[in-house]
Structure 1
Amino acid sequence: MVKKIVLASGNKGKLNEFNRALSELNVEIIPQSQFNVPDADETGLSFVENAILKARHAAQITGLPALADDSGLEVDALDGAPGIYSARFSGANASDAKNNALLLEKLNGLAAEQRTARFRCVLAFMRHANDPTPLICQGTWDGIILEEACGEQGFGYDPLFWLPELNSAAAQLSPTEKNKVSHRGQAVALLKQSIAPYLIAIK
Structure 2
Amino acid sequence: MAPKVSEEYKEKKRQDLLKSAMACFAEKGYQTATIDDIVTHSGMSKGAFYNYFSSKEEIYLTLLKQSVYLSFQKLREAIQSKETAKEKLKHVFDIYSNLDFTKKSIQNHRVQIEFWIIASRNDNLIDHMKTHAKVFHDFLIEIIEEGQKKSEFSKDIKSADVSEIFWAITDGLFLHMLVEKDEFPMKRLYQTAGKMILKYLEK
Q: What TM-score comes out, normalization by structure 2 length?
A: 0.25
Instruction: Determine which structure has more spread, i.e. the larger CA radius of gyration.
Output: 2
Quick check: which one's helix share is greater? Answer: 2
If asked which structure has higher relative contact order (CA below 8 Å, sep 6+), I would say 2
Q: What TM-score comes out, normalization by structure 1 length?
A: 0.25
Quick check: which one's strand share is greater? Answer: 1
